[in-house]
A and B are shown apart, each in its own frame.
Chain A
Amino acid sequence: MIATLGGFVLFLAVGVTLYAAVASVIGARQGREDWVASSRNAVLAHFCLVTLAIFLLEYALITSDFSLRYVANNSTRGSFTRYKIAGLWGSLEGSILLWEWLQSLFAALVVARYGDRHKQLMPYVQAVLQGISVFFLCLMAFGVNPFTRVFPVPPDGRGLNPLLEVTDMLIHPLLLYLGYVGFSVPYAFAMAALITGRLSDEWLSITRRWTVVAWVFLTCGIFYGGWWSYRTLGWGGYWAWDPVENASFMPWLTGTAFIHSVMVQERKRMLRVWNLVLITLTFSLVIFGTFLTRSGILGSVHAFADGPVGVMFLSFLALILFFSFGLIAYRSEKLKGHGELDSIVSRESAFLLNNLVLVGICFTVFLGTVFPLLSEAVRGAKISVGTPYFNRVSVPLGMALLLLMGVGPLMAWGRASLNNLKRNFLKPALGAVAAAAILYALGVREAETLLAFLFAFFVIGTVVFEFWVATRTRARTMSEGLLTAFATLLLKSRRRYGGLIVHLGVVVAIIGIAVSSVYKVEHEQTLKAGESLSIGRYSVRFDGLAAGERPTHILVWANMMAFKDGKPLHELVPGQRFYPNQQSPFASVDARYHWNEDLYVILSAFERDGSSATIKVLINPMISWIWIGGGIILLGVIVAVLPERRLALLAVRTREQPA
């Protein structure tokens, strides 16, 4: 029943979506407002149909209808409802359906918001967004249909991979998908601008907020993924330059470059072609990343293996690139910029450099990710470049970016004068040097770490200095209290100050990354009950093994007590989970998380009789700063994009409270 209905809904959606795309183009070409209006309705109908499809599949998942192959493969009777729901994005077919649903949701939102405005652009925006949806719908209808039946109907499903039965599974994939799909909106507007030849800043100002929101979802998704991996995967790290991690990182890099270069076009009328190229690259990298993940072409922890899907994705990618760059070439006459760089010492050239570095990092990550494929094609030998390559290349480029983050925002547009430079940079630079000198005196000797700290202090210094000067000036001239002045400033130029807060967050995260990777300590030892191992200022005592039954698995854990400087600190119970029908166990790590240092414990092996256990202990200094930095980034973006009215309301409310 559900299979028939679901399949029917999918095919119907293909028809409706195709109609929406074609009708809006016909309407725009012939100036027929009624066609465009009809297309708008079709976009909304498309959304309703895909929503229905999602409901059908979720219904089947929740009610354990194993007559659907997808349900049988990704769900099991015994699991919690929330993980039955999460089964939707546990595997290829369902995750494509989720993607397509978000795609249809974003199209519906765009139509609902701008449907009756931007009369020239909108029909083509609709057409492009529906075109993307047609691809995903066809992918399901003709390739990986989530409503495929299975016969005979199995008595129970196979369930999600136990690794995925955690709350994080409900959050991380959704954040990433929202980010990925979000970038299709600015892409669609860019293409509409190219098709119509309306290449002024119209498309940029409409999509600015969409881009930033897509960016923050992607950012949060990446940070959340690292956090998840750190807490549960049991190898003590958060990022492995795995192909799928890289697949999310690449569009993030070009998207970040896009957010910056857009400002140059708005202010100086330059970089028009570059912005179109960047948004095309970003969207293409999203599709390319999905291709990497879903085709199983590169071995990866995250990959779902499947054959024909890879070819379909690659063809779609080729189509996007051909179509976008074809349009850019077609409009090249109209795209000639008006602006010129006035001076090399200016905000716009700092932005240019920032773009060059971001795209440079993206290129190196791309090269490293596909290197095994390239080398096999060119030289016939399988050669890979691992973590050392990525670290070696991205550390210096990351440093350059860090420095630019301090320099860029405070340089004047056009031509920065010596006075401007001195006024904005002297104090932060001196402060940074002094702070770095203190670190040196405290015993930090690694050149790379010192340099990272020097630049980080510099960025923090410039941001704090800017906030301080502006707040003080306003407080004096308007005779307000410092706090009121600061709040009003934030509200008055939310975009600028929100952006600076985002920079602060990035710096905090970079400090966490640098310190935790340089000063990480690791020790592994086999202990008998009662024995301890010591690491740094800590010692960890093993008090014996125990095992217990859990609803879905057997948990074996080691009772441990951690001491710091001889004083009892924290009980720790690292374990291993044994699931029926899974040959190897899954780690269940434990740690004492703290704002400046995590003590992280893994039970890596044990004797069945409980006599001894092999324990791996890691000290990860300042690793929490990465997650805190992610939080600050989110805060900064909220300041930058929240609608004016809401913030004003908030301000009024706080002012009304008696002081």
Chain B
Amino acid sequence: MKGKKLKYVVAGGIVLAALLGLIFSGVKESMVYFYTPTELMAKRESVQGKALRVGGMVVDGSIRWDPQNLLLTFQLTDGQGTVFVRHKGTAPDLFKEGAGAVVEGAWSPEGYFRSSNIMAKHSEEYKPPEHPETLESKKEVFKSILKEAKQ
């Protein structure tokens, strides 16, 4: 009886060890540090090329979009430090100036953060807009392409 039990304990132990090994290597391979812009600017030399996440607010007026090269550049700030970010491709829906965003990528030796993924964040609190908009004011923006035709 005892030998039999041992067999199951050993079998279970092997499965458990494999599981733990898998978790450990998974964590080790895909661990991503999260920095604020201030922290990144302080440590930028030592973390060059390492996968990182940086979170902050998108600086007002900093977004530049080059449609031909699909290049998006902007600045992220936490109030103290500011990071220049270059992103290849478009940003998600909620990405906008003055709102929070987290970018994933690495510090490039050329002196900017090269982002491979942008995660925009919902603002935590709803604030009513200072100048309430109507459908009409939105319409005005697109008047050059507006059609009445149904689609």
Residues of chain A touching chain B, judged by Cβ–Cβ distance below 8 Å, are 73, 158, 234-235, 296, 299, 301, 305, 341, 344, 353, 356-357, 360, 363-364, 367, 371-372, 381-386, 388-389, 392-393, 396-397, 524-526, 545-549, 552-557, 573, 578-581, 583-587, 604-605, 607-610, 612, 614, 616
- A residues less than 8 Å from B22 (CB atoms): 364, 392-393, 396-397
B interface bracket (residues with beta carbon within 8 Å of A):
35 or more
Q: Within 8 Å of chain A (Cβ to Cβ): is B135?
A: yes
Residues of chain B touching chain A, judged by Cβ–Cβ distance below 8 Å, are 4, 7-8, 11-12, 15-16, 19, 22-23, 25-27, 29-34, 53, 65, 67-68, 70, 89-90, 92-96, 99, 102, 104, 120-122, 124-126, 128-129, 132-135, 137-139, 141-142, 144-151
In the complex, are the beta carbons of B30 and A385 less than 8 A apart? yes
Once bound together, how far apart are the Cα atoms of A556 and B142, in whole Å?
8
- A residues less than 8 Å from B148 (CB atoms): 548-549
Q: A296-B124, A580-B133 are in contact. Are A353 and B15 (CB under 8 A)?
A: yes
Work out how many contacts link A and B, with CB atoms closer than 8 A. 159
Chain B residue nearest to A78 in the complex (CB): B135
In the complex, are the beta carbons of B145 and A609 less than 8 A apart? yes
Once bound together, how far apart are the Cα atoms of A178 and B36, in whole Å?
40
Once bound together, how far apart are the Cα atoms of A397 and B122, in whole Å?
33
In the complex, are the beta carbons of A548 and B151 less than 8 A apart? yes
In the complex, are the beta carbons of A382 and B23 less than 8 A apart? no
In the complex, are the beta carbons of B92 and A548 less than 8 A apart? no
Chain B residue nearest to A361 in the complex (CB): B19
In the complex, are the beta carbons of A605 and B90 less than 8 A apart? yes
In the complex, are the beta carbons of A546 and B122 less than 8 A apart? no
Q: A372-B34, A385-B30, A614-B70 are in contact. Are A609 and B144 (CB under 8 A)?
A: yes
Instruction: Report which of A341, A386, A546 forms a contact with B145, defined as CB distance below 8 A.
Output: A546
Chain A residue nearest to B124 in the complex (CB): A305
In the complex, are the beta carbons of A383 and B23 less than 8 A apart? no
In the complex, are the beta carbons of B93 and A585 less than 8 A apart? yes
Given contacts A384-B32, A547-B142, 15 further A-B contacts (CB under 8 A): A158-B126, A305-B124, A344-B8, A367-B27, A385-B31, A386-B104, A388-B29, A392-B26, A549-B146, A549-B148, A554-B138, A556-B145, A578-B142, A583-B99, A608-B141
The 7 closest A-B pairs by CB, nearest first: A604-B90, A382-B34, A388-B30, A389-B30, A526-B67, A610-B145, A547-B142
| Cβ distance A650 to chain B, nearest Cβ, rounded Å | 43
In the complex, are the beta carbons of B147 and A546 less than 8 A apart? yes
In the complex, are the beta carbons of B149 and A383 less than 8 A apart? no
In the complex, are the beta carbons of A234 and B93 less than 8 A apart? yes
In the complex, are the beta carbons of B7 and A344 less than 8 A apart? yes
In the complex, are the beta carbons of B145 and A581 less than 8 A apart? no
In the complex, are the beta carbons of A548 and B149 less than 8 A apart? yes
Instruction: Report which of B15, B26, B53 forms a contact with A364, defined as CB distance below 8 A.
Output: B26
| Cβ distance B6 to chain A, nearest Cβ, rounded Å | 12
| Cβ distance A654 to chain B, nearest Cβ, rounded Å | 46
- B residues less than 8 Å from A235 (CB atoms): 92
- A residues less than 8 Å from B67 (CB atoms): 526, 605, 607, 612, 614
Chain B residue nearest to A396 in the complex (CB): B22
Chain B residue nearest to A235 in the complex (CB): B92
In the complex, are the beta carbons of A382 and B33 less than 8 A apart? yes
Once bound together, how far apart are the Cα atoms of A235 and B93, in whole Å?
9
In the complex, are the beta carbons of B124 and A608 less than 8 A apart? no
Once bound together, how far apart are the Cα atoms of A386 and B31, in whole Å?
8
- B residues less than 8 Å from A73 (CB atoms): 126
| Cβ distance B14 to chain A, nearest Cβ, rounded Å | 11
In the complex, are the beta carbons of B146 and A547 less than 8 A apart? yes
In the complex, are the beta carbons of A389 and B27 less than 8 A apart? yes
- B residues less than 8 Å from A357 (CB atoms): 15
Query: Residue among A301, A363, A547, A552 with the most chain B CB within 10 A?
Result: A547
In the complex, are the beta carbons of B92 and A299 less than 8 A apart? no
In the complex, are the beta carbons of B30 and A383 less than 8 A apart? no
Once bound together, how far apart are the Cα atoms of A341 and B12, in whole Å?
13
Q: A547-B145, A548-B147 are in contact. Are A386 and B30 (CB under 8 A)?
A: yes
Q: A305-B124, A364-B23, A546-B145 are in contact. Are A384 and B53 (CB under 8 A)?
A: yes
| Cβ distance B103 to chain A, nearest Cβ, rounded Å | 13
Chain B residue nearest to A341 in the complex (CB): B8
In the complex, are the beta carbons of B134 and A580 less than 8 A apart? yes
Once bound together, how far apart are the Cα atoms of A389 and B70, in whole Å?
29
